A and B are shown apart, each in its own frame.
Chain A
Amino acid sequence: MRHGKYPFIIGFLVVPVALYVTFVVWAYIQAFYLSVYEWSGLGPVENFVGLGNFRKMWDDTLFWQSIKHNVFLLIFLPLITVVLALIFAFLLNVGGGHKGGVTRGVWGSKVYRIIFFFPQLLALAIVAVIFGRVFGPDKSGMINGLFPDSWSPWLFLADERYAMGCLLVVLVWQAVGFYVVLFSAGMGNIPTEVYEAAAIDGASRMTLFFRITIPLLWNTVQVAWVYLGIAAFDAFALVNIMTVDRGGPDGATSVLSLMIYRNAFEFSQAGYASALGVVLFFLTLTFAWVTLSATRRESVEA
């Protein structure tokens, strides 16, 4: 093995590392550099302003509104998705109980598995368009269409009180399937003897879930959490396609990624957009770090 180690490593690593450096690291460095300039994005970079862009951000109410919405998603998207995905995965894999020496899922779990995963196959843009119809504010909307004509329709996305909630529903709907599969794979790695032994000792499904499945799946849950958290920092496609005046009504659904896009490509303030990107970078990093340290625990040897 020692012979020819370096050609082997170099052969495998050079291309990906070069791509990564060019398209991620270098782009980041540029973003950091641009964030201290007032730059329109349409000509040469000029007007060094130091932290001016960040000061502007501090005074920008839309920025704070956007942060608020990102935090809302950051709390609820991982929480709801992980809980739902865990429950579904448990039902699909272990929920049927222990019969004839085999642990199995609830009846029809193979079909459910496909149904749960299906949303994952759709492009987010399509999901957004479909749910735009579902949440239609008048009778043409699917949900409103279900109600009798005498009811005044729910405005959903056109009502700033519910708009973020609607987006959350769509994000959860789209994400759950993936994590069901992920957790199912994780559960597949838990030796059935453990379940069987517990079942013989008379453990209920609740006990199986909380005392065996969750601890043995903890690493996977942790990854899922970080991952969903990062997704919560995005939500760009949905907001851009589904909401009133993109991010409205009146900023009620604006998120950081949308602000970056609009400042860079619509308001010709690429410098400001880069500064927003830098903030997003640190927020995402902080989040991942906090989550990983907060959820660290002794890993259970299976």
Chain B
Amino acid sequence: MTDIFTKSELDRRTLLRRAAAVGLLATPAVSMLSACVGGSDEGTQDQATGTKSADNPLGIDPKAGVEIVIFNGGLGTKYATDVDTPLFNKKWPEAKVTYSQTEEISTQIQPRINAGNPPDMINNSGSKLMDFGAIVKAGQAADLTDLFAAPSLDIAGKTVAETLVPGAVEQGTYDGKPFAVNYAYTVFGLWYNAALFKKNNWTPPATWAEFTALCDKIKAAGITPFGYAGANASYYMVRALLTSAGKIGTEQVLKDIDNLKEGAWTNDAVKQAAEAWAGIGKNYINKTFLGLRHTEVQLQQNQDKVAFYPCGSWLENEQAKDTPSGFEYAIAPYPSVTASDKLPATAINAAAGEIYFAAAKGKNPQGGKEYLRTMLSKEAALEFTKLTKSLTVVAGASDGVTISPGLTSANDAVAKAGKDVFMGYLFDTWYKKLDDESRAAANDLMFKDYDAAKFCERMEKASQAVAKDSAITKFTRS
């Protein structure tokens, strides 16, 4: 056995370099990267604290540094460096904010969390976000009850919680306690180019029959009617499908899915939604999209080669530098699937997203929370919206301010939906493994087999497997 490693022909440096990449080292790598096994159960380090007062409701130490980590993705990081940190330092000039950004949150942060040395405030986002349910379960996220009860930084007479849109606190609540600030308010729907539609006299559909009829017209015009990127954005499709299911049978359908209730995925509402969407996949998708990434398909939409793209309101900002002038982003709610949908066609899925949390075992968790309180001020929220073309959970922060066409359209859609704005589902952050399965299943449904029953059964099976897996922390909502 040993002689394979002592062959003189091999250049040893090359051997080592290559060996680092091979399977034999994958095993130790897991424990290396996870680091410090069992070390984090020992007492936490000394944490900075100060005296609580009206001016300092969270009781932070005004001189203690705060370390923050921001995910660099669709929203960029400018809002943190140019808005939040200066604002924070205006109030706390002696607290040094240490900032860093990353495109891979879990790779950078998870080892530090394990080692008991996390940053104080973390933006857990992106395709490599950490399983937040597991973080909560492991006691790594700070309880934010005091943050939400604290007075708002610049909205007089209200607590932080009272300044937020309905559902914002609930979205970050796990088993009754808030652990996350879901900061960005995202509106989901079918995005299209209003200018192109105007030119062709197309109107966004309200019923499924109108939807398919319009798709036929779009197809005849030589444009792909509907598409999403299968290679890394299949969760956009999961969102579309489940929003339809929610509209058919109310949000209860989605709550059952989150609660891993038996039969939640084989529910009629899910079946009907899957069937309707499978029809769209069969007739109106470009099959090559399965192998493309989201920016590639989004770019095709900017070139008017794709009419409808199912996405959240971050889309406009993400594409900002590739959007040609004359292209006007607009959003349409997903059309009703049946004539007896329980929610109206205008109903829309809008949710607080983008997790920010204070680390429970950091050096200065109260400082991390104070940073969050700064982010939740009206001033910071407005600047965030201007910079990222995304709404925040701070209610009405951008009222009366001229914003981009896409965001205006999203704002209108929410207004038209009125009380029929629903939060959607949480299983994708609670159970990453189920999320993974739903992506693969959605791709199969839309690009390959168009078999709604198969989709439902597959997801039902995966959901029950999660329910039975004792290694996965369970959450419920009502």
Binding site for B on A (CB under 8 A): 23-24, 26-28, 30-31, 33-34, 38, 40-45, 47, 49, 56, 124, 135-138, 140, 153, 155-158, 178, 182, 185-186, 219-220, 222-223, 226-227, 230-231, 233-234, 236-237, 243-246, 248-251, 256-257, 260, 262, 264-274, 277-278, 280-281, 283-284, 288-289, 292
Contact = CB atoms under 8 A, between A and B. Distances in A.
A281 B471 contact: no
Contacts of B110: 41-42, 265
A256 B443 CA distance: 22
Interface stretch (B128-136, B158-166, B315-323): B128-136
B291 interface: yes
A245 B440 contact: yes
Given A31-B31, A264-B34, A244 B1 contact: no
B239 to A, nearest CB: 15
Contacts of B61: none
Given A223-B4, A257-B26, A292-B1, A30 B443 contact: no
Given A27-B32, A40-B473, A281 B40 contact: no
Interface stretch (B69-77, B142-150, B227-235): B227-235
Given A23-B28, A42-B113, A155 B290 contact: yes
Contacts of A49: 470-471
Q: Is the interface of B mostly helix, strand, loop or mixed?
A: helix
A42 B140 contact: yes
B288 interface: yes
Contact of B131 (A31, A268, A277): A268
Interface in B114-157: 114, 128, 130-131, 133-135, 137-140
Interface of B: 1, 3-4, 7, 9-10, 14, 18-19, 21-34, 37-38, 40-41, 106-107, 110, 113-114, 128, 130-131, 133-135, 137-140, 230-232, 234, 286-288, 290-292, 296, 432-433, 436, 439-440, 443-444, 447-448, 469-473
A265 B443 contact: no
Contacts of B27: 27-28, 31, 260, 274, 277-278, 280-281
A256 B27 CA distance: 11
Contact of B28 (A27, A243, A246): A27
Contacts of B130: 42, 268
B31 A30 contact: yes
Given A137-B292, A244-B443, A245-B443, A41 B4 contact: no
A15 B3 CA distance: 22
Contacts of B447: 158, 249
Contacts of B436: 262, 266-267
A267 B30 contact: no
A266 B439 contact: no
A44 B9 contact: no
A203 B107 CA distance: 58
B41 A155 contact: no
Given A40-B137, A158-B230, A274 B30 contact: yes
Nearest to A257: B26
B37 A124 contact: no
Contacts of B3: 292
A57 B177 CA distance: 34
Given A158-B291, A250-B443, A27 B26 contact: no
